[in-house]
A and B are shown apart, each in its own frame.
Chain A
């Protein structure tokens, strides 16, 4: 089974609308990373969350890690066409140094103008 579940799998929103993407883990999250990717290209780092209850913002994107550290949400305010792409959450599922991030299946976002 998938250790990290992302929802929704895909999303189409009208320009200017808000949206939320969720990432839920079956295990404790020791670090949660959000990335954006355009198909066939590398990952663009957005934010990293480590502490329960932590919230970070960058421009119109806000990410939160819930208190129990098993779920994170990414919220985009007033979406723009430039926000379109694939959003991936990656997680440290152990607190051991040197382990790889495990990724969710991604959320494909389309923004219509």
Chain B
């Protein structure tokens, strides 16, 4: 299957700093990428849908000014957690769907563990 990578896999930062997480589709072009958050022992909650070349669509309750998403190319989406606080500590997973017309499976990255001190 297709491969989606995330970087970094783990990050620890101080409260008030910003953290950028990258999501790349390695062997296919992704017009749409998704960002999920997973708290301990809970399921994946969709945060936002990232569309290449346009603004991201955020789910209800997700602050767009806090979680900045940029999808500048067909293979890269970034999530920046601005002014991170301990309650932002979570496991962030991105996923990607291939271009329309190709296999519609959603491929997931390995996740990024964010710890805010």
Q: Interface with A: B11-19, B40-48, B71-79, B80-88, which one?
A: B40-48
Is A34 an interface position by the 8 A CB rule? no
Residue in contact with A98 in the complex, picked from B32, B44, B108, B109, CB distance below 8 Å: B32
Describe B's contact surface by its main secondary structure.
strand
When A33-B106, A40-B111, A42-B111 are in contact, do A97 and B100 touch as well, CB less than 8 Å?
A: yes
Q: Do residues B100 and A42 form an inter-chain contact, with CB atoms below 8 A?
A: no
Q: Answer yes or no: A100 CB below 8 A from chain B CBs.
A: yes
Contact in complex: A100, B108 (CB < 8 Å): no
Say which one of A11-19, A60-68, A76-84, A101-109 lies at the interface with B.
A101-109
Set A39, A45, A103: member contacting B105, Cβ < 8 A: A45
Do A102 and B46 touch (CB < 8 A)? yes
Residues of A within 8 A of B (CB): 31, 33, 35, 39-43, 45, 48, 88, 90, 97-106, 108
Given contacts A45-B1, A97-B104, 15 further A-B contacts (CB under 8 A): A33-B106, A40-B91, A41-B110, A42-B110, A45-B107, A48-B105, A90-B44, A90-B106, A97-B97, A98-B31, A98-B100, A101-B106, A103-B36, A103-B44, A105-B42
